[in-house]
Amino acid sequence: MLLARINDLLDRRWLTNDGPMVKEFERRIAEFVGVRHCIAMCNATVALEIAIRALGLRGEVIVPSYTFVATAHALQWQEITPLFADMDPGTHNIAPAAIERLITPRTSAIIGVHVWGRACDAEAIEAIGRKHGLEVMYDAAHAFGCSHKGKMVGSFGRCEVFSFHATKFLNTFEGGAVVTNDDALAEKMRLMRNFGFAGYDRVIYLGVNGKMTEVCAAMGLTSLDSIDEIIALNRRNYLAYQEGLRAIPGVSLIHYDPAERNNYQYVVAEVDPDVAPLRRDELVSVLHAENVLARKYFWPGCHRMEPYRSLQPNSALLLPETERVAARVMVLPTGQAVTPEVIQTICAILRSALAQSASVRTALAQRT
Ligand SMILES: Cc1ncc(COP(=O)(O)O)c(C=O)c1O
């Protein structure tokens, strides 16, 4: 299907600039999510930057520290200060009570992030936004195909941003999109995505090149055709890990609420240092030694990355849960290339390392 679509677009010689594949992709995403507008972009980082600018955010914006650094960078890039709120350790999402503590007269907005596809407490966040006159938008990079209280992620706040990067379960090689029910905001973002052009020779906004190409949209449409199968496979892998890790003390997987729609694209394990005989970092080293690409996430937290570390050197004091969870989380490999047999092997490696923790610790120490 992908190759047929690519042949089509090559025959048409319409390679970018709001072509028919991008239009179809936007229509299908908006329909799937149940929103009025989808504006496809070259990636989610640029989509965040455009959404932030189109909403007129300024001053300070409250974000979680426990997120991919692009959430914070999209603000700082425009000289808006991201202020980092702590997380709820039960969901890994921004804690509403932590947001309230950070509000100052300079605050213009809150950006929630639906970490691992599990939706933020949108009701509480939006109530805070209303109470203090703040805009609310979401970084939904992880959460395409997920729901919150039965409503699809994508329809919360003023707008939400999806990522379709190659590492995401629905990908356009590189890509992203903003979805919204706000007609005027959607129109503004469409113009900003294309240098501010409102006609052949008429530029009415400051804009950028945020366009998605036709070949990327072709990939996205092809992935959309089999989205149910891809999610089923992610769920199969998640369940296989759950089974494989069941009897391992101190290592537990995060849960996805079966009453919601989930994409299961992240298999997230927490290693409890009080129970497991090896630390998260040691387990990641063991897996890397066996060529298993487990990753620490979102280690060490945005507040410990530059430029935030230098600009806000004391922010860790307000982020105890973020610090604790970032030291425990390990994301395990999944996706179409990972079979249940591979998962059994990964779980066996973990089991065997933990059973021989003393000798593993010595061997790791000798390697460094
Ligand atoms: C939470 C979050 N926000 C933003 C991004 C940036 O997405 P992109 O790579 O499409 O720019 C990512 C990428 O992984 C992400 O995880």
Q: In a mutational test of the pocket of ligand 1, which residue from 46, 165, 174 has the highest number of ligand atoms less than 8 Å from its CB?
A: 165
Residue 199 CB partners (closer than 8 Å, separation 6+): none
Task: Give 345's pLDDT tier (boundaries 50, 70, 90).
Answer: very high
Total domains, the chain: 2
User: Angle of helix 214-225 relative to helix 227-245, nearest 10 degrees?
Assistant: 60
Task: Give 235's pLDDT tier (boundaries 50, 70, 90).
Answer: very high
Is pLDDT of 203 > 90? Answer: yes
Residues 13 and 158 in one domain: yes
- pLDDT attached to residue 327: 98
Which CATH number does the domain housing residue 7 bear? 3.40.640.10
The pocket around ligand 1, CB under 6 angstroms, is made up of 43-45, 67-68, 70-71, 113, 139, 141-142, 163, 165, 176
Residues 242 and 136 in one domain: no
Q: Which long-range contacts (CB under 8 A, 24 or more apart) does 126-135 make?
A: 126/156, 126/157, 128/96, 128/99, 128/100, 128/103, 129/157, 132/103, 132/107, 134/103, 134/107, 134/108, 134/109, 134/110, 135/55, 135/57, 135/108, 135/109, 135/110
Q: In a mutational test of the pocket of ligand 1, which residue from 41, 43, 45 has the highest number of ligand atoms less than 8 Å from its CB?
A: 45
Q: Measured from the CA of 165, which atom of ligand 1 is nearest?
A: 10
Ligand 1 centroid from CA 44, angstroms: 6
Average pLDDT over residues 46-63: 98
Q: In a mutational test of the pocket of ligand 1, which residue from 139, 163, 212 has the highest number of ligand atoms less than 8 Å from its CB?
A: 163
| Beta bridge partner(s), residue 351 | none
Domain assignment of residue 170, given as a range: 2-225
- pLDDT attached to residue 247: 83
Q: Which residues in 181-326 belong to E strands, given as ranges?
A: 197-199, 202-203, 251-253, 267-271, 295-296
Distance CA 99, CA 131 (A): 12
Average pLDDT over residues 210-227: 98
Ligand 1 centroid from CA 163, angstroms: 6
Distance CA 85, CA 312 (A): 13
Is pLDDT of 368 > 90? Answer: no
Q: Measured from the CA of 67, which atom of ligand 1 is nearest?
A: 1
Distance CA 269, CA 54 (A): 37
Atom 9 of ligand 1, residue of closest alpha carbon:
165
pLDDT tens for residues 304-322?
Answer: 999 999 999 999 999 999 9
End residue of a domain, out of 198, 225, 252: 225
Residues 185 and 235 in one domain: no
Ligand 1 centroid from CA 357, angstroms: 35
Which CATH number does the domain housing residue 322 bear? 3.90.1150.10
